[in-house]
Amino acid sequence: MGTTVWAWAGPAAPLCAPARPSTAPVGLTRREARDQPRARPRASAPTSPAGATDPTRATNPTRATDPARATDPVRAPEPVAPPTPPPGPLASTAVLPDWPPGTVTVLATAGPRPHAIPVSAAVRAGPRHALVALAGGRRSLSRLRADPNVALTVLARDLAVTAHGRARIVDEALVEGVVAIEIEVEDVQDHDRPTFAIESGVRWRWTEPEARERDGAVHAALVRLARSRPADP
């Protein structure tokens, strides 16, 4: 018979595995090297966070050493004006000042709701009294009958005052259809301030001759009534 011959076509297999390189120090056996203490790995230097600077290193030595490039000196704070104090209380007196004839005043009466009306027929009857003429149909008459507490504001050139007091009817027929009211003044508030000036009161005029004549008659009757009453002490 013939003889069969087998041949290996792949790479030659190594007869044995290659020996691992020894890590033992020269002159020591493997067992002695294993018993030796191992050196700890060296710690790496800490890294600075992003954007941080090393305080031991000058960022700009030229600026730090050059006095001409030093930072600007601290400026002194600018002087601040003191706040304006709030206005103090209004000056108060018991003396009623005088005002020109025809001055428009404002009569305020008490009630569930304050009620104020302009009045041109008002005269000073003394240091603590004023006379006011109202038409008989005015709502202010019924209000002051229920509550006599009133206030009379007078605005004229260089004059701004409010007189507080009690009102009473002294003549039901001063002239036809007109009632005379007397105000006993208890307190006068002066609204004048050094920060402003009253140049004039309300400028007005009658547009009908009959109304102008009637107003003149009312004023004349108020003046006569003021002169006839007893003088204030």
How open is the CA angle 189-99-233, to the nearest 5 degrees?
Answer: 70
pLDDT digits (tens, 9 = 90+) for 68-125: 555 555 666 666 656 555 555 555 667 899 999 889 999 999 988 889 999 999 999 9
Gap between the Cα atoms of 26 and 14, Å rounded: 28
Give the residue among 16, 231, 15, 7 at the shortest CA–CA distance from 125: 231
Instruction: Kindly report the pTM of this predicted structure.
Output: 0.60
Pick the CATH number of 91-228 from 1.10.132.20, 3.40.50.300, 2.30.110.10, 2.60.200.20: 2.30.110.10
* Cβ count within 10 A of residue 35: 8
pLDDT digits (tens, 9 = 90+) for 119-171: 999 999 999 999 999 999 999 999 999 999 999 999 999 999 999 999 999 99
- The domain limits of the chain are 91-228
